[in-house]
Amino acid sequence: MRTEQAYVGWIRRFIFANGKRHPQDLGAAEVGDFLTGLATEGNVSASTQNQALSALLFLYRVVLDMELPRLDQVVRAKRPCRLPVVLSQEEVARLLQAIPEGQTAMMAQLLYGTGMRLMECVRLRIKDVDFGRNEICVRSGKGNKDRRVPLPISLCERLLRQRERALLMHRADIDAGMGRAQLPHALARKYPNANAEPGWQYLFPSARMSTDPRTRAIGRHHVSEEPLQHAVKLARAMAGIAKRVTCHSLRHSLATHLLEAGHDIRTVQELLGHKDVATTQIYTHVLGRGAGGLLSPLDRLPGVKLLPV
């Protein structure tokens, strides 16, 4: 749904940028000018421009059934080469300890312990956590791909209690005539009663009922991601970490720490769900091949004594 909302927003901007003319009366020239303006006048990032392009391609190919010619004249936004923010293990420990004990702290530890993305963690279903095999199945991750990640043994007991809390809430909802979770894709039509099964309920359910924006049915959705984001932000300040830390920084830190521990890059690639190993290779800057692995020529000068700071 978030993708739909983003696409609608870009289509609306495209229409207003062309004097509210119908997109059917526009073509590749107008699309190219719009995308070029985003890069040259709007100074948007490459990912933002690509999102706008995807929205307009979807509009013409799927909605209007029109094929646009190649957009070779579009000025593309430059994609910067940036290194991820990585915390040391000591900084990760300080950050996690600064989050008050509870569900939010457990979710933050789960992000670091598994390498899941923020929304992948928030959207976990009860059936996705396999305590017998000590693994978690991440469903419909980035690129609509499933993958398996290890279940941290230190979190098993707390996750079992969390599952019991979620099941108790579900039983109470069933008794109240509700307790039906939102199912992905067309599963609700294929299996009409599956949304009431315990396994399909969210592992981290919201404390309040909400209305499904598609079906208008009242049910219990998963918790919002905002409290976890806010908790990490506050914990960073309390831990005295000067780096810009987000929930995604825990994923970056896990990948770096695994490579430092000697795990091969293909294993880390599958754990993170990267399509190309080149994406995972960005974390190799810490393995003695980057700036931190070099001995400065200043330290090699004979007779030079450096005073301690």
Q: Which residue in the list 127, 142, 165, 221 is annotated as catalytic?
A: 142
Residue that the structure tokens 């700071």 belong to: 309
Helix (H, G, I), strand (E, B) or coil at 197: coil
HSE (CB half, 13 Å, CA atoms) of 296?
5
248 classed as catalytic: yes
Catalytic residue among 7, 117, 202, 220: 117
Q: Report residue 22 as tokens.
A: 């119908």
Q: Is 142 a catalytic residue?
A: yes
Report the DSSP beta bridge partners of residue 129: 136
The one catalytic residue among 170, 220, 257, 274: 274
Q: H/E/C letters for each residue in 9-78?
A: HHHHHHHHHCCCCCHHHCCHHHHHHHHHHHHHCCCCCHHHHHHHHHHHHHHHHHHCCCCCCCCCCCCCCC
Q: In the annotation, is 189 catalytic?
A: no
60 catalytic per annotation: no
Catalytic residue among 127, 148, 158, 248: 248
| Tokens encoding 78 | 């430059």
Catalytic residue among 125, 170, 220, 251: 251
Residue tagged active-site, from 7, 60, 202, 283 = 283
251 is known as an active-site residue? yes
φ, ψ of residue 220 to 5 degrees: the values are -110, 115
| Cα 82 from Cα 84, distance rounded (Å) | 6
- Active-site amino acid positions: 117, 142, 248, 251, 274, 283
